[in-house]
């Protein structure tokens, strides 16, 4: 499978500012979230990145990824017609090729998350989504898959069903994966590789992405890989704070950050 391109969707009307938020990365450098996501794609062996934006946001977004400007393209979503439509807006950029997909309001943290998904997709020539075991109470936040373990490979599943933000009842009826601990399900991590079939099944941007992926699972091989990293919804309460702490604790300043946290706890700062 040829896999040279990535698409980052960042056009949500109420989430436009999130990709521009600045975090300190694991090496101690301040970067916008959008820059960190772009570098995650590029480090997975991607050559070009397309960012789908709200109309008029191209200039501030271009500034956020200026260090990689030659490898970044921008496509506006002319109308707020949903996630599937935003992805479909990048169809000309994808040009009939498979592509890596990341979402602009979730920050994955883990050295090999994107690379593992890309490597599996290239090896199998099919769509692959990163997933993570997620407790039942968090189902309203994520798309969720049902399927079965691949007997030949650790952490790999064959996707059979996809439901967007299922209720606990739906999940119990349709999304239980044999061998999974009780009240836990496999939810999307925010990293995917999609074959060209996804753009076709989006039906001109009219089909929601989750139902598109549910149909994809019936038409061709579609795999999920359970990742060892963590993902942070930066639009959730304290999401940016949690992402920043996770970055800091996985980087060169871990000891310093831990000592600051212990000091705050010991002194009861803010109590």
Per-residue pLDDT at 38: 97
Distances (CA, A) of 240 to 25, 152, 172: 12, 38, 31
Using an 8 Å Cβ cutoff, are 19 and 104 in contact? yes
Which residue in 149, 224, 155 sits closest to 191, CA to CA? 224
pLDDT computed for residue 53 by the predictor:
97
What is the predicted pLDDT for the residue at 15? 85
Mean pLDDT of 206-224: 97
Please tell me the predicted confidence (pLDDT) of residue 107: 94
pLDDT at 271: 57
Range 200-223 average pLDDT: 97
Average pLDDT of the chain is 94
| CATH superfamily placement of domain 5-267 | Spore Coat Polysaccharide Biosynthesis Protein SpsA; Chain A (3.90.550.10)
Supply the pLDDT for residue 269.
62
Over residues 65-105, the pLDDT tens digits come to 999 999 999 999 999 999 999 999 999 999 999 999 999 99
Across the chain, where does the E strand assignment appear?
5-10, 22-24, 30-32, 48-53, 72-76, 99-103, 106-109, 127-135, 143-149, 156-164, 184-194, 222-226, 230-233
Reduce the DSSP state of residue 38 to 3 states and report it: helix
Over residues 185-213, the mean pLDDT reads 97
Structure token digits, residue 213: 């992926």
């Amino acid at each position: 499978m040829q896999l040279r391109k990535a698409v980052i969707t960042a056009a949500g009307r109420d989430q436009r500012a999130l990709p521009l938020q600045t975090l300190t990365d694991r090496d101690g450098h301040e970067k916008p979230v959008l820059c960190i996501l772009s570098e995650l794609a590029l480090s997975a062996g991607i050559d070009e990145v397309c960012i789908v934006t709200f109309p008029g946001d191209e200039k501030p977004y271009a500034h956020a990824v200026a260090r990689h400007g030659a490898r970044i393209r921008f496509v506006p979503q002319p109308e707020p017609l949903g996630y599937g439509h935003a992805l479909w807006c990048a169809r000309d950029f994808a040009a009939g090729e498979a592509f890596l997909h990341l979402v602009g309001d979730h920050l994955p943290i883990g050295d090999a998350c994107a690379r593992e998904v890309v490597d599996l997709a290239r090896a199998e020539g099919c769509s692959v989504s990163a997933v993570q075991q997620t407790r039942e109470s968090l189902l309203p936040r994520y798309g969720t898959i049902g399927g079965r373990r691949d007997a030949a490979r650790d952490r790999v599943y064959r996707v059979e069903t996809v439901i967007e933000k299922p209720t606990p009842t739906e999940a119990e009826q349709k999304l239980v994966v044999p061998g999974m601990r009780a009240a836990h399900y496999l939810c999307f991590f925010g990293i995917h590789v999609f074959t060209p079939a996804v753009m076709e099944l989006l039906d001109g941007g009219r089909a929601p992405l989750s139902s598109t992926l549910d149909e994809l699972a019936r038409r061709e091989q579609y795999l999920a890989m359970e990742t060892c990293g963590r993902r942070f919804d930066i639009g959730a309460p304290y999401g940016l704070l949690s992402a920043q702490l996770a970055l800091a604790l996985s980087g060169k300043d871990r000891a310093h950050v831990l000592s600051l946290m212990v000091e705050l706890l010991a002194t009861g700062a803010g109590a």
